């Protein structure tokens, strides 16, 4: 498991492009036939992936966790970006279609990822945070998600937010998770942007066409930086950083948060005219 330590805002402001990418961007997380794990000191989050092909993939227990099994003191949310598959949690099978979400509660001992078709594998993306309470493992489909319509066509940010794990949805200790998709012609996500000092956030961009990119903007509101992001790449967002972006074509992104609370509206808005 790779470990990523975050710089302070002052340090981040002087990073060049390569340093910025090697610090905040996870650009090789998804590998066929392998479980990928990256630990970050942002609220002790772990970002992971599992792309099973012929063989199932079992979630192991990294020595760095100092635990008997991965979810001994952790919860996790899983979103499937790919073909059909199954996630088995302690001998209970959860069929997973594309854009299905599975919350796995603290204390779950065995987690196994499988694909229904090795030629069109499931692509599981997951985010895990420490948990001090136990909530039941729960699956939700796209149709089960709470939908929030935001933005306007004139501002090119008309979008639908699909909320899965949140204070009024699937219950969790601190994890909040869902994804956003855009109406035709809209490209801007999370604009006007914001920060939230009480929790960190992780963005995973997916369904980005191969020849296109998303320009992700981060940094303090008056010290902004940008990272060009491809399909299935992830950006870590510290509490002091804005997190927004625009795509050169249609795309979706999964957002996940951990920290002090789960209130979706707990954010400090930054006016567009105040950005630098």
**CATH number of the domain residue 218 falls in:** 2.60.120.10
Lookup result for tokens 């796995």: 104
Report the share of the chain in percent with pLDDT over 90: 92
What's residue 245's pLDDT? 96
Q: What is the pLDDT of residues 53-97, one digit of tens each?
A: 999 999 999 888 999 999 999 999 999 999 999 999 999 999 999
The pLDDT value given to residue 157: 95
Give, in degrees to the nearest 5, the angle at Cα 253 between 18 and 179.
145
Could you tell me the CA-to-CA distances from 157 to 38, 115, 182, 186, 229 in Å, in that order? 31, 34, 7, 5, 18
Q: How confident is the model at residue 265 (pLDDT cuts 50, 70, 90)?
A: confident
Q: What is the predicted pLDDT for the residue at 5? A: 95
Beta bridge partners of 81: none
pLDDT tens digit string along 175-215? Answer: 999 999 999 999 999 998 999 988 999 999 999 999 999 99
Phi, psi of 273 (to 5 degrees): -70, -15
pLDDT value of position 186: 96
Q: Which of 105, 109, 101, 113 is nearest to 37 (CA)?
A: 113
**Which one, of 192, 194, 190, 196, lies nearest residue 42 by Cα?**
196
CB 218 within 8 A of CB 235: yes
For residue 205, give both structure tokens.
């961009």
- CA distances (Å), origin 83, targets 31, 91, 122, 241, 274: 15, 22, 4, 33, 42
pLDDT category, 260, cuts 50, 70, 90? confident
**For tokens 């998770």, what's the residue?**
177
Is 264's pLDDT higher than 80?
A: no
Q: What is the rounded average pLDDT for all residues in the chain?
A: 96
| DSSP character at residue 71 | G
The reported pLDDT for the residue numbered 62 is: 87
Mean pLDDT to the nearest integer, 266-271: 89
> Residue 32's pLDDT is what?
96
Residue 267 has pLDDT above 90, yes or no: no
pLDDT by residue (tens digit) across 20-57? 999 999 999 999 999 999 999 999 999 999 999 999 99
Residues 204 and 230: beta-carbon distance below 8 Å: no
* Residue 158 structural domain: 2-274
What is the domain count for the chain? Answer: 1
Region 101-125 average pLDDT: 98
Higher pLDDT, residue 121 or 168: 121
């Amino acid at each position: 498991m790779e470990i990523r330590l975050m710089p302070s805002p002052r340090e981040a402001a002087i990073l060049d492009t390569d340093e910025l990418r090697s610090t905040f961007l996870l650009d090789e997380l998804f590998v066929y036939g392998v479980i990928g794990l990256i630990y970050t000191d942002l609220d002790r989050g772990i970002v992971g992936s599992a792309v099973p092909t012929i063989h199932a993939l079992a979630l192991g227990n990294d020595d760095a966790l100092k635990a008997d099994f991965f979810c001994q003191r952790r919860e996790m949310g899983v979103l499937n970006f790919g073909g059909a598959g199954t996630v088995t949690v302690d001998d209970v099978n959860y069929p997973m279609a594309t854009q299905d979400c599975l919350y796995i509660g603290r204390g779950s001992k065995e987690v196994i990822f499988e694909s229904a078709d090795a030629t069109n594998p499931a692509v599981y993306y997951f985010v895990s945070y420490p948990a001090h309470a136990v909530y039941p493992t729960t699956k939700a489909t796209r149709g089960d998600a709470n939908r929030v319509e935001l933005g306007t066509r004139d501002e090119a940010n008309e979008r639908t937010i699909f909320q899965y794990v949140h204070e009024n949805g699937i219950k969790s200790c601190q994890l909040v998770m869902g994804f956003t998709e855009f109406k035709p012609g809209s490209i801007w996500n999370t604009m006007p942007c914001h920060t939230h000092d009480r929790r960190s956030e992780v963005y995973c961009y997916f369904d980005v066409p191969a020849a296109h990119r998303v320009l992700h903007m981060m940094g303090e509101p008056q010290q902004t930086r940008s990272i060009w992001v491809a399909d299935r790449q992830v950006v870590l967002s510290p509490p002091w950083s804005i997190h927004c972006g625009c795509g050169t074509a249609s795309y979706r992104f999964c957002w996940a948060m951990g920290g002090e609370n789960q209130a979706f509206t707990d954010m400090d808005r930054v006016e567009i005219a105040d950005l630098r």
